[in-house]
Amino acid sequence: MKLLIKGGRVIDPSQRLDELADVLIEEGIIKAIEKDIQVDAPIYEAKGKLVLPAFVDLHCHLREPGQEHKEDLASGSLAGVAGGFCALFAMPNTSPPLDSKSQIGYILAKAAHLPLYIFPVGALSLGMRGEELAPIGELAEAGVKAISDDGMPVQNSGLLRNALLYARMFNLTVILHCEDTSLSQGGVANEGFTATRLGLRGIPTSAEEIAVVRAVLLALETGCKVHICHISTKNSLELVRWGKTKGAPITCDVTPHHLVLTEEAIENYDTRAKCNPPLRSEEDRKALIEGLLDGTIDCIATDHAPHSKDEWDVEFDLAPFGIAGLETAFPLLYTTLVENGLIPLELLVEKMSTTPAQLMDLELGSLKVGREANLVVIDTKPIRVNVESLFSRGKNNPFQGWTLKGFPCLTICKGEIVFERRAEL
Amino acid sequence: MKHLLGLESLDREEILSLLKKGKEYREWLDEVYEKRRQPLPHLKGRRICLLFYEPSTRTRHSFEIAGRLLEADVTSFSLAVSSVQKGESFKDTLLTLESMGFDLFVIRHSYSGACFYASNILRRASVVNAGDGMHEHPTQTLLDLLTIYRARNKVEGLRIAIVGDILHSRVARSAIFALNKLNWNIHICAPPTLLPKDVEKFNVKVFHRLEEAIKDVDVIYMLRIQRERQKEQFFPSLEEYSRLYRLTSQHLSLAPGAMVMHPGPVNRGVEMEGTVVDGGESFILDQVRNGVAIRMAILHSILGEEKR
């Protein structure tokens, strides 16, 4: 594939690049980033657009095998490339869970034919039941880079400690969804005035924070790389900050929705804003933005959690947790955080491309010459979100009807053009 | 009024107008109906469905009686023998019943927000909230206000102590929403385990001691304590709960002349001593009679004034 992307604003934090330039791709490889490249190649006009390393998502739910009515690898991949992503880490809470070599092999075999990179995350415990360790060595051999029990967090601290000690031997990262379920049990919303008014059972912030303390201390003690996903409270950030100053091998991510919405989004019992951890207070939200700026938060991950409408169009208590946000992630953050001057654009690119790739040791998230082309061109014209025309099967997206800027208009993955937006949403 | 989903969304005037109408129906019940035993034809031909997903005695029966006294056609939907047992969703149940031609659904549901959800699902029919989870129970609060209105001849600017399981109580939430609009001084009293987070943002004064909470109030409002809460360890035992929060006749001297109220059903001897339940300050049975009157007012406000 040969392509000259002309005149865009090229931003690549991995080489501290931010300039108007042309990007030349030949045989799927980035050949040059220079001004006014004169070459005989098909041209993609990018004047007024942004050219970025494609995004890497450390946390999404692709639902295959077993829950294809919510999403499958193909529909999730399309949603991914339409959202500007070149790599997705697929969580293991499928049916059955990804706790064996054959399960991992199934995902990798299918992923080879898909337009972007899919990295299956192995289960930490057998069946994600939190009782016995999954065959972590076998999973590592099968090619996983990380293990996690995600939304079914291990409650037994002894088991978790052994998992960390053991996983370290294979240089795996352990991704932890931090939740003490004895504190969150039965809860459906952040414990606060909104839940009190609506008569919804609350999930206190301590349910997350106690598990964060445990994760930080165990990372420090075992030396295993621990990545805390979808961090949501001010105190959790303080605890991670403390862990980092002590030298714990700990990193964390935040979701786009926790950076933009607060608990008030569940007003009118809107199940599309029901997620776990729940949307928190404005004070927490501000602290999360602060955490991005000061580096406590290493990256942004979507926690894309598609569900079918039959599942979420029900009474609030019965609706599953989760927001399907792969396709709105970048435009949402570009519009609400960058355009409003809350964070610099380069930082957003760094948190969505550079650092997640680095954390998982991937040759992605960079536009360095010689690398395989994995890049996205962003159009900043405003588009009104219409979930029906998004590629994900999950329409549980609370940003329906929002007008956002920054949707991808061209995505290149594995050196090929995999997505080009021609129509409006 | 299209629906009655809660009192948070009503304003002072709407509440007062329902109370005025309820008072008139109560007078009709006492003075006219008692003698002639003839219903009023106000809702003749209108069809009401009582859709109760939770057990209820007084709310369900008083809606049924209220509907019949206005000559509406009232059907009670019986959960135990319905398709809900076959796994039919709430959404499909609503749409199915609406297709049968009901004009109004009175809904009691164990999930907060279920009535709001129903009002979005239904294409034409109205919804009256008869209690949704821990959220609201607006008709209970309206009948309580009617009881106070008739006894005190005023319904604004008074003092109340609401005592008991505030955390799980839809009655408490509806009361707090409405009483704030009517400029009441609200005391709430419970152990910290039975108070919802940030409850003080409701403009209420929080107490943990019964004796302090009820001092000099106009209304002592006791909530039912559910035995399951002890199993969930919100308090050590029913005996200890009673030791701290049972209203006895000795307490009444702390609030001379106060009305004693309870939404029922009462756990005699647990949250209230039997002699107080039966005593001269108790308005519990008057509350029940007003329940019929206020529900007539509500049904009429929704169905009677709407263009056919």
Same domain, yes or no: A45 and A63: no
- Peptide bond before A277: cis, by omega within 30 degrees of 0? yes
User: What mean pLDDT comes out for the span B204-229?
Assistant: 96
Domain boundary, last residue among A359, A380, A409? A359
Question: Do the domain assignments include residue A119?
Answer: yes
Same domain, yes or no: B180 and B276: yes
Same domain, yes or no: B180 and B116: no
Q: By residue range, what is the domain housing residue B156?
A: 138-287
pTM listed for this prediction: 0.95
B109 touching chain A per CB within 8 A:
yes
User: What mean pLDDT comes out for the span B243-269?
Assistant: 96
The predicted structure's pLDDT at residue B84:
74
Contacts of B111 in chain A (CB under 8 A): 315-318
pLDDT > 70: what percent of chain A?
99
Same domain, yes or no: B180 and B50: no
Question: Do the domain assignments include residue B99?
Answer: yes
Contact A202 B201 (CB under 8 A): no
Same domain, yes or no: B183 and B273: yes
Contacts of A200 in chain B (CB under 8 A): 112-113, 133-135
Same domain, yes or no: B120 and B166: no
Residues with Cβ within 8 Å of B298's Cβ and at least 6 positions away in sequence, in order, are: B4, B18, B66, B128, B139, B142
Distance CA A92, CA A76 (A): 15
Contact B197 A200 (CB under 8 A): no
- Give, in order, the Cα–Cα distances in Å from B187 to each of B158, B211, B224: 11, 12, 17
3-state secondary structure of A246: coil
Question: Do the domain assignments include residue B187?
Answer: yes
- Give, in order, the Cα–Cα distances in Å from B236 to each of A420, B168, B227: 63, 17, 11
The predicted structure's pLDDT at residue B3:
98
Same domain, yes or no: A193 and A117: yes
A141-145, B57-61, B197-201: least confident range: B57-61
The predicted structure's pLDDT at residue B232:
86
Contacts of A191 in chain B (CB under 8 A): 197
Same domain, yes or no: A23 and A77: no
- pLDDT tens across A195-227, in order? 999 999 999 999 999 999 999 999 999 999 999
User: What single letter denotes the amino acid at residue A279?
Assistant: L
Number of structural domains, chain A? 2
Same domain, yes or no: B74 and B100: yes
Cα angle vertex B96, ends B94, B98, to 5°? 65
DSSP state of A49: S
Same domain, yes or no: A300 and A192: yes
Identify the residue with better confidence: A425 or B177.
B177
Q: By residue range, what is the domain housing residue A24?
A: 2-51+370-420
Distance CA B133, CA B8 (A): 15
Return the CA Rg of chain B: 19
Same domain, yes or no: B294 and B277: no
CATH number of residue A411's parent domain = 2.30.40.10
Contacts of A317 in chain B (CB under 8 A): 111-112, 133
- Minimal Cα distance from A315: which residue of B? B114
Distance CA A119, CA A143 (A): 8
User: What mean pLDDT comes out for the span A231-244?
Assistant: 98
Question: Do the domain assignments include residue B65?
Answer: yes
- Give, in order, the Cα–Cα distances in Å from B114 to each of A315, A394, A403: 6, 23, 30
User: Could you write out the DSSP letters of every residue in B110-178?
Assistant: SSTTHHHHHHHH-SS-EEEEEEETTTB-HHHHHHHHHHHHHHHS--SS-EEEEES-TTT-HHHHHHHHH
Contact A317 B134 (CB under 8 A): no
Same domain, yes or no: B191 and B248: yes
Residue recorded with tokens 């034809």: B41
Distance CA A134, CA A172 (A): 13
- Give, in order, the Cα–Cα distances in Å from A5 to each of A33, A50, A418: 9, 11, 15
Contact B135 A196 (CB under 8 A): no
- pLDDT tens across A163-200, in order? 999 999 999 999 999 999 999 999 999 999 999 999 99
- Minimal Cα distance from A204: which residue of B? B197
Average per-residue pLDDT for chain A: 97
Residues 17-56 of B with CB under 8 A from A: none
- pLDDT tens across B222-251, in order? 999 988 888 889 999 999 999 999 999 999
Q: Using CB atoms within 10 A of its CB, is residue A113 exposed (0-12), middle (13-18) or buried (19+)?
A: exposed
The predicted structure's pLDDT at residue A424:
62
Domain boundary, last residue among A332, A359, A386? A359
Same domain, yes or no: B157 and B167: yes
User: What mean pLDDT comes out for the span B112-116?
Assistant: 98
Residue recorded with tokens 């799980």: B168
Report the phi/psi class of residue A3: left, alpha or beta, with left for phi > 0 and alpha for psi in -120 to 50.
beta
Neighbouring C-beta atoms of residue A350, cutoff 10 Å: 25
Confidence of residue B308 (pLDDT cuts 50, 70, 90): very low
Confidence of residue A405 (pLDDT cuts 50, 70, 90): very high
Residue recorded with tokens 């995902």: A107
Same domain, yes or no: B158 and B193: yes
Average per-residue pLDDT for chain B: 95
- pLDDT tens across A79-138, in order? 999 999 999 999 999 999 999 999 999 999 999 999 999 999 999 999 999 999 999 999
The Cα of A198 is separated from the nearest Cα of chain B by a number of Å equal to: 5
- pLDDT tens across B49-100, in order? 999 998 888 899 999 999 999 999 999 987 766 777 778 899 999 999 999 9
Question: Do the domain assignments include residue B2?
Answer: no
Same domain, yes or no: A161 and A231: yes
The predicted structure's pLDDT at residue B80:
66
Domain boundary, last residue among A311, A334, A359? A359
Residue recorded with tokens 């991937």: A362
CATH number of residue A273's parent domain = 3.20.20.140
The predicted structure's pLDDT at residue B86:
76
Asked if B105 and B97 touch (Cβ cutoff 8 Å), the reply is: yes
Identify the residue with better confidence: B167 or A422.
B167
Residues with Cβ within 8 Å of B45's Cβ and at least 6 positions away in sequence, in order, are: B73
Distance CA B296, CA B308 (A): 19
pLDDT > 90: what percent of chain B?
91
CATH number of residue B256's parent domain = 3.40.50.1370
The predicted structure's pLDDT at residue B81:
62
- pLDDT tens across B17-43, in order? 999 999 999 999 999 999 999 999 999
- Of A265, A209, A214, nearest to A232 by C-alpha is A209
What ipTM does the predicted assembly reach? 0.94
Length of chain B: 308
Residues with Cβ within 8 Å of A165's Cβ and at least 6 positions away in sequence, in order, are: A222, A224
The predicted structure's pLDDT at residue B307:
47
Question: Do the domain assignments include residue B176?
Answer: yes
Distance CA A217, CA A239 (A): 10
Question: Do the domain assignments include residue A205?
Answer: yes
Number of structural domains, chain B? 2
The predicted structure's pLDDT at residue B194:
97
- Minimal Cα distance from B120: which residue of A? A268
Same domain, yes or no: B251 and B266: yes
Please determine, for residue B256, whether its predicted confidence score (pLDDT) is greater than 60: yes
Please determine, for residue B146, whether its predicted confidence score (pLDDT) is greater than 70: yes
Same domain, yes or no: B274 and B300: no
- Per DSSP, helices labelled H in B182-283 are 210-213, 228-231, 238-245, 274-277
Catalytic amino acids of A? 303
Given B90, B170, B199, which is nearest A315 (Cβ)? B90
